[in-house]
Chains A and B, each alone.
Chain A
Amino acid sequence: MAEWSKIPPNVFSEKGSVPLSLQVEVLKGVSEFFNMSWIREGELNLIEKLSANILKAGPMPKHVAFIMDGNRRYARKRHVERQEGHTQGFDKLAETLRWCLNLSIHEVTVYAFSIENFKRSKDEVDGLMELAKQKFIRLLQEQENLEKHGVCIRVLGDLTLLPLDLQQHIARAVVATRTHNKCFLNVCFAYTSRHEIANAVREMAWGVEQGLIKSSDVSEALLGHCLYSSNSPNPDLLIRTSGEVRLSDFLLWQTSHSCLVFQSVLWPEYSFWNLCDAILQYQLNHRPLQKARDQHREEQALQQHEADRACVADLLQHHGNGKPLDAQRRQEALLNYTASREERVQDFLGALQHKRDSFLTDLTSQAALA
């Protein structure tokens, strides 16, 4: 509670930024989640269990993203201190993560800290950074539990914007849980979707600079693989609480074909039934969304094919001896080109993953030396 006093009470939410207080309770919730007794199975009561089993008979989302919103409104509504709203908020996060596991939803992404929030006063930001550091340290103390339950933690965002010591703690948590594969928790920290997309483009440009790929290899699929979230499938379901109907620069690329559910319930009042309602919405939208996704994938494949053909035609023009090739030779050239492009791309993605892993490993070894 002493930590809360460092953060001025008049923290307000700007449009497009995640409220500072919200991020605080998310971080608390993330660590509380692992301290909590989610490990106890069978926390659902009988009716909840029955409902869960009924829902699971239909298509279930594999990856759910949450924009948790509404703590301060909750506090005002209940005429309590804002701290109480946040406390309830982080309890709710821990509870929701447990419900997700009970519903066999093994990947959850939450929005913790937006790059926009760096514009706040230095005191506020410093206070939050200090709190985050303490939470990640606590998380590491629970390493045994994390291993036992196969929890993999990923932090998505531009970590270089954070203080070095926080970067090191985050790196340790991520590296320690890297090989776990039973459930995945993605925490968006120092994140906005536009920065993520711009970073992906920058990485591809780096690949071009290094001679690993050509500019003609740039495609929608490749851009997707260069995002921070490249190791996760796109969210099937995006839930935002408190009645706000904005995306606030969160996973804009990844949620283009996700089911969007805006719920008016305030986050601290979120219930198992709200989650079931959201999943029901997902199930009702499942077929048309699947159809739209498949259609988009087909168009993507077509565009890639056309791009490859154009490249091959270009190559043949420049390097050929002027004689037009027959259809079979053209087809062969196309297949060869596609195979070599795919190999180039794989090598590039390998190099990119290595660069990212090294960044984290360097941070952990720095932390060990310090």
Chain B
Amino acid sequence: MAIVYEFVWQVLHVLLHIHRTLITWFRIRLRNWNGRLWSRALTALIVPMALSFPNQKNIVPAPGKRVDRRYRWGADGKSLEKLPDHIGLLIAEEEPRYTDIANLVVWCMAVGISYVSVYDNYGVFRRDNSRLMDEILKQQQELLDLEGSKQLCVEFLNNGTDKQDQQVLSCQSVLKVLSPDDGKLRIVQAAQQLCRAVEQRDKTSKDINVTVLDSLLRESKSTPDPDLVLKFGPVESTLGFLPWHIRLTEFILTRLFKTLL
């Protein structure tokens, strides 16, 4: 009997995989066939939902004059009721698509989102962020026709320091590149710091509370917790993304990048 159940289970999972593959293929085919119209339609569904609006505004990056696009995106951003202060992009894909990610980052900043974080659970972006940065600067120029990033400013916060606090103030948008080390490992490091203080009798264990820990884990006082995290990739999990900071974060878990862009 167990063998029968196992067989049925295998069949069920094969059917599910086929179903998923067909849906993916179908979406991509439709998009390519009538690219502009379908991508607008799809994004008009997903992104307003992501930004929690009741009205479904069309805020898709569409081909057109680059200057027009910049003003249109900016205007779109202003016309929306509420923008998240901090968006996180959680890339759970095996092979991240740099161009697509860069597109999304540039779009977020053009719409007026102050903080954008990019995270992958292998720490690839953190270890080698030059490729991502180059791609972002390239997309900024291509999509928004900005020479030397006059209007938008991209700052890289890898580790919070006072110097970076000053740089942040002069920028319109801030990009943070994160890895799993910024999650649990940061909390452990903060714990070690507090325990060392206790060892040296600078503190007692009773002095440790949520506020103390929170102040240690905040990169800078002005950086808000992520309001919204968009997850791209086949895994339905946060994969270690900033456990301390995501207490009230809304999650949009999508499997496919291509349908969004």
* B237 interface neighbour in A53, A198, A257, Cβ under 8 Å: A257
What is the CB-to-nearest-CB distance from B254 to chain A, in angstroms, rounded to a whole number? 12
Q: Is the CB of B247 within 8 A of A247?
A: yes
* 8 other A-B residue contacts (CB within 8 Å) besides A193-B243, A198-B210, A201-B195: A53-B5, A57-B6, A198-B213, A208-B199, A209-B198, A215-B196, A223-B191, A296-B240
How many inter-chain residue pairs (CB < 8 Å) link A and B?
Answer: 154
- Contact residues in B for A194 (Cβ distance below 8 Å): 210, 213-214, 244, 247
Stretch in contact with the other chain, from A83-91, A139-147, A280-288? A280-288
Q: Tell me which of B8-16, B58-66, B110-118, B129-137 binds A.
A: B8-16
User: Hey, what's the 0/1 contact readout for A276-318 against B, CB within 8 Å counting as 1?
Assistant: 0000110111001100100110010001000000000000000
Known A215-B198, A216-B192, A246-B248; judge A256-B5 contact (CB<8 A). Answer: no
**Is A197 part of the binding interface, using a Cβ–Cβ cutoff of 8 Å?**
yes
In this assembly, does A272 line the interface, its C-beta being within 8 Å of a C-beta of chain B? Answer: no
Q: In the bound complex, what is the Cα–Cα distance between A284 and B253 (angstroms)?
A: 15
Say which one of A28-36, A125-133, A259-267 lies at the interface with B: A259-267
- Report the minimal beta-carbon distance from B87 to chain A, rounded to whole angstroms: 14
- Asked if residues B244 and A292 are in contact (CB atoms below 8 Å), the reply is no
Contact of A259 among B183, B203, B205, B237 (CB under 8 A): B237
Contact B213–A209 (Cβ < 8 Å): no
Identify the closest chain A residue to B206 (Cβ).
A202
Interface hits, B184-215 → A, CB 8 Å: 184-185, 187-188, 190-192, 194-196, 198-199, 203-206, 208-210, 212-214
Interface string of B36-54 (1 = CB under 8 A from A): 0000000000000000000
Chain A contacts of B187 at CB under 8 A? 197, 223, 253
List residues 214-261 of chain B with CB under 8 A from any CB of chain A.
Answer: 214, 234-241, 243-244, 246-253
A355 lies within 8 A of chain B by Cβ: no
> Whole-angstrom distance between the alpha carbons of A281 and B20 in the complex?
12
Bound-complex Cα distance A248 to B247 (A): 5
Structural contact, B194 and A256, CB atoms closer than 8 A: no
Whether B238 contacts A256 by the Cβ 8 Å rule is: yes
Q: B191 is contacted by which of A57, A218, A299 (Cβ under 8 Å)? A: A218
B99 beta carbon closer than 8 Å to chain A = no
> How distant is B13 from chain A, measured CB to nearest CB, in Å?
7
How distant is the Cα of A197 from the Cα of B6 in the complex, in angstroms?
41
Q: Contact between A197 and B213 (Cβ–Cβ < 8 Å)? A: yes
A197, A206, A256, A257 pick with most chain B CB within 10 angstroms: A256
Asked whether A82 is an interface residue with its Cβ less than 8 Å from the other chain, the reply is: no
Nearest CB of B to A107, in Å: 19
Contact partners of A201 in chain B: CB under 8 A = 190-191, 194-195, 208, 213
Q: Give chain A residues whose Cβ lies under 8 Å from the Cβ of B13.
A: 58, 283-284
Q: Is residue A15 within 8 Å, beta carbon to beta carbon, of the partner chain? A: yes
The 9 closest A-B pairs by CB, nearest first: A215-B195, A205-B205, A57-B9, A57-B6, A249-B247, A206-B205, A215-B196, A202-B208, A252-B243
Q: Does A43 contact B (CB under 8 A)?
A: no
Q: Which A residues lie within 8 Å of B213 (CB)?
A: 194, 197-198, 201
For the complex, is B169 an interface residue (Cβ under 8 Å from A)? Answer: no
**Chain A residues within 8 Å of B, Cβ to Cβ:** 15-16, 53-58, 192-195, 197-198, 200-206, 208-209, 214-216, 218-220, 223, 245-249, 252-253, 255-262, 280-281, 283-285, 288-289, 292, 295-296, 299, 303
Residues of chain A lying within 8 A (CB to CB) of residue B84: none
Q: Which residues of B contact A214 (CB under 8 A)?
A: 199
Q: Quick check: A256 and B239 within 8 Å, CB to CB?
A: yes
Residues of A within 8 A of B214 (CB): 194
Question: Given the complex, which residues of B lie within 8 Å of A255, measured CB to CB?
Answer: 238
Contact A209 B205 (CB under 8 A): yes
- By the criterion CB–CB under 8 Å, are B236 and A285 in contact? yes
Q: Closest approach, in angstroms, between the C-beta of A196 and any C-beta of chain B?
A: 10
CB <8 Å contact, A245 and B252: yes
Report the Cα distance A11→B230, complex, angstroms.
Answer: 31
Residues in A with CB closer than 8 Å to B249 are: 246-247
Q: Which of A57, A206, A247 interacts with B246 by CB under 8 Å?
A: A247
A55 and B9 contact, CB distance less than 8 A: yes
B208 is contacted by which of A16, A205, A280, A296 (Cβ under 8 Å)?
A: A205
Contacts of A283 in B (CB 8 A): 13
Are the CB atoms of A248 and B248 closer together than 8 Å? yes
Do B239 and A292 have beta carbons less than 8 Å apart?
Answer: yes
B180 at the interface (CB under 8 A from A): yes
When C-beta atoms are compared, the residue in chain A nearest to B241 turns out to be A256
Cβ contacts A to B, 25 pairs, < 8 Å: A16-B247, A16-B248, A54-B5, A56-B5, A57-B6, A193-B247, A194-B213, A197-B244, A198-B213, A202-B205, A204-B195, A209-B198, A215-B192, A218-B191, A219-B188, A247-B247, A249-B248, A253-B184, A256-B240, A256-B241, A256-B243, A260-B251, A260-B253, A262-B253, A284-B13
Cβ contact within 8 Å between A289 and B237: yes
Residues of A within 8 A of B248 (CB): 15-16, 246-249
Complex alpha-carbon distance, A194 and B249, angstroms = 14
Which of B122, B206, B241, B246 has the most C-beta atoms of chain A within 10 angstroms of its own C-beta?
B246
